[in-house]
Amino acid sequence: MSRRPTFKHRIEFLGLGLVFLLGRGLPRSFFVRLGAILGRFVHSVLKVRRQVTHDNLRAAFPQRPEAEIEQITRSVYEQLGSSILEFAALPGMSSADLRAAVHIENLQVVDDLVGRGRGIMFVTPHFGSWELFGASFVAQGHPTTFFVKRQKNPLVANLQDDIRRKAGIEIVTEGPGVARGVLRALRQGRLLGILPDQDARRHGVFVEFLGRPASTFKGAAFFAYRAGVPIVPGFVRRQPDGNHVGTILPPIEPDLSHDQEAEVFRLTQLFTDIMTEWILRYPENYFWVHRRFKSVPPDPVPYLDSYRAWAAAGHDPASWRLGCEA
């Protein structure tokens, strides 16, 4: 069913569209600086979700002094503002510009898998300049597809998808036929990018994230299992000069002999553990403004106690399987 734009949707679209239109002839560095300024304004004056961001950071870093939490909160808004406006500069960036803006460490991991004709389920959280990170794989010559969730504002969603397509990114949108589109992309040997770190409500699988059970999008693990392709985690972080460093981590292979539901949990927990590690290491790069823990977990959480006990006993968490006893 098509969504009719509301008056609020049209205002949001006009504002964002104006920024993107002005950005076509301006350098990316301008947007990095302007975005940081706007981020400070949203943090200090508009205070949009500032308390949510503060509370999320306080829960993640209970031992840190309040002044440090406040400093990280300000940095989160500056970084987020820069990344959002930086996206506006993407249509004016050539492949050479993208390669210069985003240096990718361990790109050989992707090169090797693609060279063997294997699709890749690439997972990254809302971390750093994730839009530029995705486009940088196209600039490196890798066919790339984004899985995109439906947004409330269809006008803004169409604008964003148009920019992504102009950067050479194929789009698969949440909804009817999504499974066919995702599996086709993976079986064609494409890099399929998913951001699985937001609350998935009743459609998710509960795993431990930042020390708490969180409903997590299970599509990354499910489709990797169904297609028999590896999950490859990656992260991008901004450097002091405004450019970025992306890091590719070793692939996580699905165990196709394992029970599907338990394997979806295992894979999701493994890459979520990696996300937790990177988010705690570089907190200013993460999207803390999201209400991540809205969904109430069941008691007990399926598989989680067994997984925790297995890891606590000194076993490699990746070796956990259904029926393992600590």
DSSP secondary structure code for residue 45 in this structure: I
Mean pLDDT across the stretch 8-31? Answer: 81
> What does the mean pLDDT of the chain come to?
94
Beta-bridge partners for 144? 191
Nearest in space to 134 (alpha carbons), one of 158, 159, 110 = 110
CB 168 within 8 A of CB 144: yes
pLDDT band at 118 (very low <50, low <70, confident <90, very high): very high
The Cα–Cα gap between 225 and 229 comes to 7
Residues 6+ apart with CB under 8 A from 7: none
Residue 2's pLDDT band, with cuts at 50, 70 and 90, is low
The domain spans of the chain are 95-319
pTM, whole model, 2 decimals? 0.94
pLDDT, tens digit (0-9, with 9 covering 90-100), for 184-229: 999 999 999 999 999 999 999 999 999 999 999 999 999 999 999 9
Predicted confidence at residue 23, as pLDDT, reads 63
How do residues 86-107 score in pLDDT, each as one tens digit? 998 898 899 999 999 999 999 9
Q: What is the pLDDT of residue 1?
A: 47
Q: Which of 141, 143, 130, 144 is nearest to 102 (CA)?
A: 130
